[in-house]
Amino acid sequence: MKKINNNLLIKLAEGNLEGIEKKEMEKLIKKNKLMREKYHKYKKTLLLLSNFGKSFEIRKKSIKLNLIKKAPKDNKNSNIIEISKYLAKKYG
């Protein structure tokens, strides 16, 4: 198996790890307290980011329902908008 690192823990937390690697990582998490804590932090962070992205979608829908005029569209997107779009595609 590859060296255990944060990227593998993140992949597992996202659900993007399969097969033997997934089983080995799950065993390691059960045995190793530090890995278990990191894994749960990543899971919690992903959940928070997902909920954060969904809050933008809810806000976007409510603005359309209330018929509020939109602000002029800016060509430059901030990082938070890009993160929101990514989360909406991934978990929306």
Token pair 């390691």 is found at 28
Asked if residue 59 is part of any domain, the answer here is yes
Residue 70: per-residue pLDDT = 56
**CA dist., res. 5 & res. 59, Å (int):** 37
Residue at 39 is within a domain: yes
Instruction: With both helix axes pointing from N to C terminus, report the angle between 79-91 and 33-65 in degrees, rounded to the nearest 10.
Output: 100
The rounded average pLDDT for each run of 10 residues, N- to C-terminus, in the chain (92 residues) is: 73 88 90 90 88 72 55 57 77 69
Q: Give me the pLDDT at residue 82, please.
A: 74
pLDDT at position 76 is 55
Nearest to 13 by CA among 71, 85, 90: 90
Measure the CA–CA gap between 54 and 71, rounded to whole angstroms.
Answer: 21
Domain total of the chain: 1
- Residue 1 in any domain: the answer is no
Domain with 75, as residue range(s), is 6-91
The reported pTM is: 0.53
